[in-house]
Amino acid sequence: MNNDDKEILEYKGKLKYQFLRMKTGISEVMHHRKAQKIVVTYLITAALLWILFNAFVIPDSYAPVKIIFQLIAGTIYSLVATIGLLATLVLIGTPKGAYQINEELWRIGLTNHAGESPLLLRRYTISGEVDTTVLEFDMNGIPLPKWQDEQERIETALDVYVTKMKLGKNKKRILLHTVAGNAGLPEVIHWKDEYLSKNDFELVLGYSFGERLKINLAKVPHLLIGGSTGSGKSVLLKSLLMQSIKKEAEVYISDFKGGVDFAPIWHEKCTFITQESALLDTLTAIVQELENRKRLLKEYGCANISEYNRTNNTTLKRILFACDEVAELLDKTGLPKEQKELISKIEQHLSTIARQGRAFGIHLMLATQRPDANILSGQIKNNLDYRVCGRADNVLSQIILDNTNAADKIPKDSQGLFLNHEGVLFRGYLFDEKNAFTEGKKG
């Protein structure tokens, strides 16, 4: 590309930027009172200036001369006023600090092949316990994977934490949810029953910057949690099970330690399975229930359990199966043939639930601390769509999240801090197990 081509490209780029900012300014005027006041003030000022101009500047002379003068002056004034209005719209559509932010992104090399950086179009705040600032950019041809790869450098350049990164309504826009660089997540957050979601079947995972992070099992039916010893994964699992019980789900927990890690109240609210043979029987019964529900929904012409419950004004309960250490459950290493066959049947039932459970309200919540890629079969793991990882090494983070972000972004001594598969960092809730089921209303 020669110098002339570069100048033409830069000129076109500047025109594009002004057009996009003007377009954003028009949108701001349509939706925000402050922008409307600015435009109205400008129009009133322009009208008053024209009145004063007519009164004191246009000569009171021979009529034809006055008319010609008015026409010329009016044309020039209208042109200037229109340019001023367009400039006002561009100004309204230019977020605070836009040029500095664009320059910082250019400096770290977040550019397209022509060397152009993204264009900040909007900047607004979502109020919460920690205020979140949303930065909306025109991507300028820079693909999402490059933004994701450059996240740490973007955070450093802008002095922010990027809590969420997603595409806008069209593929040319990207939204960065950010919090100030001096903000952070609290070390401890206690659960309150008021946090319980009223949506079916939505559970609160924890607190992210400025918002409570949720998972809707009606849409994303199964969950895989990873984390090393002491990372807080067991507490997170219990928090989700506690909410599920409050929502009147049937909860089954596989725990070959006899349930000693659960307070006595849990044994009243859940069904514990402490032996492999009993586990196979339980999973067989759950799969049979899945087939029963399949026939039932087909008979009534319903696509899922939520539709069936609404149509029949009934409550077909959701079923959750949880295991705090699935790697130990499914590990066949060194087992005799008969035992291996039993584990294989258990694995087959888990695979059936993972593939078919969503529509019929049957869900898996599996946790592990073992970095063993061979334990979870592809059919099970590939259907555990929602992934969460706490403190972990590179291997475990790679198995759970398909990247090493948990190892890179979560401090080695942290507890209760997690990263989901979308890169959202959050803090899990602490709650009093002994009194967890004595208060609060159902979701």
Of residues 422, 362, 407, 399, the one with CA closest to residue 225: 399
The answer to whether residue 390 scores a pLDDT higher than 80 is yes
pTM to 2 decimals? 0.70
**What was the pLDDT predicted at 174?**
95
Q: What is the mean pLDDT of the chain?
A: 87
Instruction: Provide the token pair at 260.
Output: 């000693």
In CATH terms, the fold of domain 193-435 is: Rossmann fold (3.40.50)
Contact in structure between 237 and 365 (CB atoms under 8 Å):
yes
Neighbours of 364 (CB within 10 A): 22
pLDDT of residue 440: 46
pLDDT digits (tens, 9 = 90+) for 232-246: 999 999 999 999 999
CA angle in degrees (0–180, nearest 5) for 386-391-396: 65
Strands 386-389 vs 223-226: parallel, antiparallel or unpaired: parallel
Residue 297 has pLDDT above 90, yes or no: yes
CA distance 80 to 75: 9
Q: Say if residue 279's pLDDT is above 70.
A: yes
Q: What is the pLDDT of residue 442?
A: 40
pLDDT value, residue 441 = 41
Q: Give the residue from 132, 130, 131, 239 showing the smallest Cα distance to 195.
A: 239
Strand 319-323 vs strand 250-254: parallel, antiparallel, or unpaired?
parallel
- What share of the chain has pLDDT > 70, as a percent? 92
Over range 363-377, report the average pLDDT.
84
pLDDT of residue 443: 40
Tell me the domain boundaries of the chain: 3-92, 98-180, 193-435
Of the two residues 441 and 297, the one the predictor is more confident about is: 297
Residue 122, strand partner residues: 136
**What is residue 265's three-state secondary structure?**
helix
Equal CATH topology for 98-180 and 193-435: no
10 pLDDT above the threshold of 70: no
Q: Over pLDDT 90: what percentage of the chain?
A: 48
Class of domain 98-180: alpha beta
Write down the residue that tokens 């592809």 correspond to. 378
Q: Which of 192-206, 258-272, 417-431 has the lowest mean pLDDT?
A: 258-272
Give the pLDDT band (50/70/90) at residue 152: confident
Is the model's pLDDT at 48 over the cut of 50?
yes
Identify the pLDDT of residue 289.
97
What secondary structure does DSSP assign to 22-46, as a single string? HHHHHHHHHH-HHHHHHHHHHHHHH
Distance CA 206, CA 199 (A): 16
The per-residue pLDDT for range 308-321, each reduced to its tens digit, is: 998 888 889 999 99
* Integer Cα distance of 120 and 337 in angstroms: 62
